[in-house]
A and B are shown apart, each in its own frame.
Chain A
Amino acid sequence: GAVVSQHPSRVICKSGTSVKIECRSLDFQATTMFWYRQFPKKSLMLMATSNEGSKATYEQGVEKDKFLINHASLTLSTLTVTSAHPEDSSFYICSATGTSGTGELFFGEGSRLTVL
């Protein structure tokens, strides 16, 4: 099956700093990846669609200048949380569509960000 790897799994940072999260498709090429955010005991909220070689498409209400997404290759998308604040603390999960044709999304392991 398709494998998506995310790094780091956990990160703690100080307010005002920037944090980069990587999402890699290990055994397939992903022209499109998705970034989700999940607060405790809540659902996954789609933040943006990451397109290889072009600008990301952000969902309504998501600040594109705060959550920078780069999809420079067919196997790597990065999410950078800039000038992080405690309210940015959350579980960030990336995903990519595999090649099975079932519409199944393959998820990374997730990255838990804690901003102090």
Chain B
Amino acid sequence: GQSLEQPSEVTAVEGAIVQINCTYQTSGFYGLSWYQQHDGGAPTFLSYNALDGLEETGRFSSFLSRSDSYGYLLLQELQMKDSASYFCAGDVYNTDKLIFGTGTRLQVFP
């Protein structure tokens, strides 16, 4: 089957750096995306890795290693507003479907 596993919760303080890992159990993903979701809201797109390596977008960076079936989201200079749930998502080969990871709840403390 297809599954993407993430740590359930991560805590950090303002200004810190945090890494959220995502490991997946299938080779059927074309790329890996990351989404942020605040409580009660819809997911919003953060980044996408179609190729192995690091993609940097402002304070957020995302990494993918296909050989290790592993990716991570790196959040730098954490702010209180970054407290949210973060999901990795794999897009399935030959479809437009996205399968979401288990999700990580990030809590940023002052």
Contacts and interface: CB of A to CB of B under 8 A. Distances in A.
A103 B33 contact: yes
B31 A44 contact: no
B96 A43 contact: no
Interface stretch (B10-18, B40-48, B64-72, B76-84): B40-48
Interface stretch (A13-21, A80-88, A106-114): A106-114
A104 interface: yes
Contacts of B96: 32, 34, 49, 97
Interface string B74-109: 000000000000010101000111111111010000
A34 B43 CA distance: 13
B43 A107 contact: yes
A74 interface: no
Could you say which interface size class chain A belongs to? 20 to 34
A14 to B, nearest CB: 24
Interface string A33-59: 010100001111110010000000000
Interface in B4-55: 30-31, 33, 41-45, 48, 50
B90 to A, nearest CB: 10
B41 A110 contact: yes
Nearest to B101: A43
A60 B62 CA distance: 30
Interface of B: 30-31, 33, 41-45, 48, 50, 87, 89, 91, 95-103, 105
| Nearest 6 CB-CB pairings of A with B | A107-B42, A44-B100, A104-B45, A43-B103, A43-B100, A97-B96
